[in-house]
Amino acid sequence: MNDGFSSRHLDGHALPDDAPPFTTLVHLTWQEGRIEHWIRFGRQSYQRNLDRHSRIVGFAPGSIFAFVRWAANDYGTIISRIDILRTIGRGEPFQTLPFVRPGGDILLKLNGWPKVERVLQFVDAIEALDIHPVDAAPDYWRHVHNRLTVGTEPRFYSLDQHRAWLARRTILS
């Protein structure tokens, strides 16, 4: 019997058959105060609710999204993490990541709530410029990753930097 899911699996759950080809799928779980996985930004091309605590969302090739994971037990926080990824197209190399299938080009990967919170502040600053974070230059997210990893302050994204990125993207396409 076909229940709409294939024999492939995403972290213990079968992958949906109705997702468009080459869609990057992310398994999100929300159990208040225990496991909280969410997308901070990204343009979803697919969504399927699995139950009241989990769903699968998808992103088309070439998309950028931010995936936040937080979990705790009776003694406090176990993990706080943010990943910003560019989804991949057919045949492109990629890095794997828990809860993301097949994986993606990791632009930023940081652990620990102080660093996660700092990245979220940079996302908010980009939105304050009336720029959607998915449209920011991918190199900017790498810059934020590198600076925060070594404990230095990243530069804020500017409108001039964004205009330069848009011009570069136009030339490259």
For the chain, 173 residues long, give each residue's pLDDT as a single digit of tens: 444 544 444 455 455 677 788 899 999 999 999 999 999 999 999 999 999 999 999 999 999 999 999 999 999 999 999 999 999 999 999 999 999 999 999 999 999 999 999 999 999 999 999 999 999 999 999 999 999 999 999 999 999 999 999 999 999 88
Question: What is the rounded distance in angstroms from the CA atom of residue 78 to the CA atom of residue 74?
Answer: 10
The pairing of beta strand 76-86 with beta strand 46-49: unpaired
Q: Which two tokens stand for residue 107?
A: 């632009």
Give which of 100, 105, 7 is closest to 57, Cα–Cα. 100
Domain tally, the chain: 1
Residue span of the structural domain in which 83 resides:
5-172
Question: What is the rounded distance in angstroms from the CA atom of residue 8 to the CA atom of residue 149?
Answer: 35
Q: How many CA atoms lie within 13 A of 127 on its CB side?
A: 9
